[in-house]
Structures are given as C-alpha cells and as structure tokens.
Amino acid sequence: MRKILIATMAVVLTAGASLFGASAADKLKVGFIYLGPVGDFGWTYQHELARQALVKEFGDKIETTYLENVSEGPDAERSIEQLVRAGNKLIFTTSFGYMDPTLKVAKKYPNVHFEHATGFKRDKNMSIYNGRFYEGRYIQGVIAGKMSKAGVLGYIASFPIPEVVMGINATILGAQTVNPNIKVKIIWANTWFDPGKEADAAKALLDQGADVIMQHTDSPAAMQVAEQRGAHAFGQDSDMAKFGPKAQLTAITNNWAPYYNQRVQAVLDKTWTSGDVWGGLDSKMVVMAPYTNMPDDVKKLAMETEAAITSGKMHPFKCPIVAQDASTVECKGGTHLDDGQILGMAFYVKGIDDKLPGK
C-alpha cells in the first residue's frame, strides 16, 4: 500500500512540476504577492503597472506570476511558498503585513531572492524597499496652502501610524510656507478602504468649511465628492484625474518600475544583494502626477518645490521642527530630521489644532 501511495505521489509531483516548470528552465521566474485586486486603482494597481513594465522590458528573459487579494496573515505564507515551489527565484511581497511571512519563507529557501515593500525586517536573501511619500505630501501642502481660499484643509487619514503622521506633518509644513495661518481638519477613517465612509468623511470636511481635500485612504471616493462639490483634492497612490478631472490638483503616484527593473537585472547578472531602499522623488520611486486645475504661479511654485526636494536642496523636515507642544524636536540628521526620526514619527507639528489619537 505504502509503495502505491509513494508511486502515486511521485507521479502527481512530476506532473505538477512539469505543469509549473517545463516551459521555463532558463527563464528567470518572478513572482508577486498583491494585497488587493489588480484593478483597485490604488496601491496594488501601481505594483501591477510595474510588473507589466518588467514584462515589456525583459520580454522572454523572464516569466512573471502574481497572486492578488492575498490577505495579510497565514494565507500570505502559504501563497509565498506556493510561488517558491512554482520555481520563482525573485519574489516581491507588496504589503507591510507580509513582513513576517516573507521572512519565514526566506529563511527556509536561501536560494530564492525576496523583496518586501514597506517593512523593516531584512535577511541576507530578503531586501526591503519603500517610497518617501512625505516628499510628495510636502509639495501637496504647498499647493493646498496656495489654493485654499478658506485657509482650511480637510485630511482623511487612515490609522495613526508613523507613515500617516509623517504625511500630515509634511503637508502642514509645506502649507505653512505659503500660508502661516493654515488650518487642517483631520478625520481618522480607521480603515484603508471603505469608499462609502471615505465619501462621507470628505462630505463632512467640506460641510465644515474645508475646500481642499487630501487623503491617506485608498479609494477615489473622496476625489469624486470633491468633483461634485466643486472643491479640490489630491489623488492617492495613483493618478485619479479620471475621477475628478476638475478637482485633482496632482497626485502622489507610486512608481515601482525602475526599482523592479533594477532588481530583476541584478538577479539576471547574479549581482543581487540584500538591500534597504527608501526612494523618493530623486530615484523616481515617488512621482507627481501632472499639476492641473491651478493658476500658473502655483504650478510654478509646485514645480520649483519638487525640483528643490529632488536635488536635495530642500528637505520637508528641515530643522528646526517645532512640535505641537512648542518643544523643538532634536535634530539628529544635521540639517534635517534623520530617517529614523521620520520613520518613527509620533507627534504633530505646531500649527495642527488637533490631538494625535493615542497621545
């Protein structure tokens, strides 16, 4: 009986292996794990665009596979392992919550290269990468400060984590450079994705007198509300101009393609090493969508700000940074806050008339 079982298993395994592996003995197989559906018009969509760019760039030198809608948790580990077994040698796991599962699988398969987005744990075969989205937020702040007639910005936030807090602070610091008295109303949606709630939040902010909406949630709902109400808004992750042709001022778009190209090339050249990349405007990982629906002088100012940040002449968190309680934040990075301080940001800067949840 046992022999029969083993024989059957062998047959099944060979059949399975030939199904997965036959076509591409010499091709590099690249796998992707996505959090949402590829058509979410936000976070996952941008990763998918980068995957498509890879296919275009490398043609038949590589073969790509993606798994979408993979929830963060035990499911992720299984999915990553599935990609490994299917012969993928380079695997991108594209959400914060995949950090531990990726690390676990990475330890098990030292010959496979892993790339994890937005996390902080590394290994010799596991790199991490993220975008400096706060640079884009600063530019948005400058534009918003100029564009808001009421002097009140509306900010739809998701969860009070450093990534979101640094975005709010960068926005206000940018806005203060053009309007020192700028006010911001912040609504925490306590979700990344709930179009109905995001729309409700946008309506509430507009009803309370804000006239420029910014968001750190994922759907284009707020953009649509702004469009309907004749207000302005900024896109999130993707260019959302389609949903608000008259409303969108610009959008921070996540451009992963250059990084993905570089990493695939490195594996092909056998020069891949584990790294930690936090790319901003200069490396084109963060790209601003076209500046639209604003007067020329604002557009010019926005482009100058973008150029200054890209060249390193300007830093959104330039010292001195004064916190909400009027204390000056220690300046560990010389002329600006250092990366550690930004990554762990848990305070509001002066000028925000609200309390950070949990403080």
Partner 1 sequence: MGLLEAIILAVLAASTPLLIAATGELVTERAGVLNLGVEGMMIVGAACGFGGAWLTGSTIIGALCGMAAGTLLSLVFAMMTLGLAVNQVATGLALTILGIGLSGLIGAGFVGEKITTAPHLYIPGLTDIPLVGRILFGEDAFIYLSLALVISVWLFLYRTRAGLVLRACGDNHVSAHALGYPVLRIRMFAVMFGGACAGLAGAYLPLAYTPFFIPGMTAGRGWIALALVVFSSWRPGRLVVGAYLFGAVTILQLHAQGAGLGIPSQFMSALPYLATVIVLVLISRARTGGSTAPAALGTVFVPDR
Among 31, 87, 101, 154, binds partner 1 (CB under 8 A): 154
10: enclosing H helix or E strand: helix 2-21
Single out the residue of 214, 216, 217, 259 nearest to residue 234, CA to CA.
214
Of 185, 216, 299, 350, which lies in the binding site for partner 1, with binding defined by CB under 8 A? 185
Q: Which of 8, 23, 71, 208 binds partner 1 (CB under 8 A)?
A: 208
Pick one of 29, 47, 51, 203: the residue that binds partner 1 (CB under 8 A). Answer: 203
Q: Which residue has the tokens 């969108």?
A: 248
332 CB-side CA count, 13 A = 8
Scan for tokens 């925490």, then name that residue. Answer: 188
180 binds partner 1 (CB under 8 A): no
- Would you say 282 or 353 has its CB closer to partner 1? 353
Is 196 an interacting residue with respect to partner 1 (CB under 8 A)? yes
Q: In what order do the strands lie in the sheet with 286-288?
A: 183-188, 152-157, 212-215, 232-237, 248-254, 286-288
What SS3 class is residue 359? Answer: coil
Q: Considering beta carbons, is residue 224 or 305 the nearer one to partner 1?
A: 224
Structure tokens at 70: 């993979």
Distance CA 193, CA 156 (A): 11
Q: What angle do CA 89, 95, 101 make, to 5 degrees?
A: 60
Q: Give least dist CB 239 to partner 1, A.
A: 11
Counting contacts by CB under 8 A, is residue 221 touching partner 1? yes
Residue closer to partner 1 by CB (options 77, 227) is: 227
Q: Is 199 in the site for partner 1 (CB under 8 A)?
A: yes
Asked if 40 interacts with partner 1 (CB under 8 A), we say yes
What is the Cβ-side half-sphere exposure of residue 180, based on CA atoms within 13 angstroms? 0
Q: How far is the CB of 276 from partner 1 (least distance, A)?
A: 32
Does residue 342 bind partner 1 (CB under 8 A)? no
Q: Does 220 bind partner 1 (CB under 8 A)?
A: yes
For residue 98, the 8-state DSSP code is: G
> Which residues are CB-contacts of 285 (< 8 A; sequence separation ≥ 6)?
129, 131, 132, 254, 255, 256, 258, 259, 277, 279
Task: Tally Cβ neighbours within 10 Å of residue 128.
Answer: 21
248 binds partner 1 (CB under 8 A): no
Q: Is 344 in the site for partner 1 (CB under 8 A)?
A: no
Contact code string over 299-338 relative to partner 1, x by CB under 8 A: ----------------------------------------
The span from the CA of 88 to the CA of 90, in Å, is 6
Q: Establish if 165 lies at the interface with partner 1 (CB under 8 A).
A: no
Q: Which residues bind partner 1 (CB under 8 A)?
A: 36-37, 39-41, 69, 154, 160, 185-191, 193-201, 203-205, 207-208, 210, 219-221, 224, 228, 242-243, 353-355, 357-358
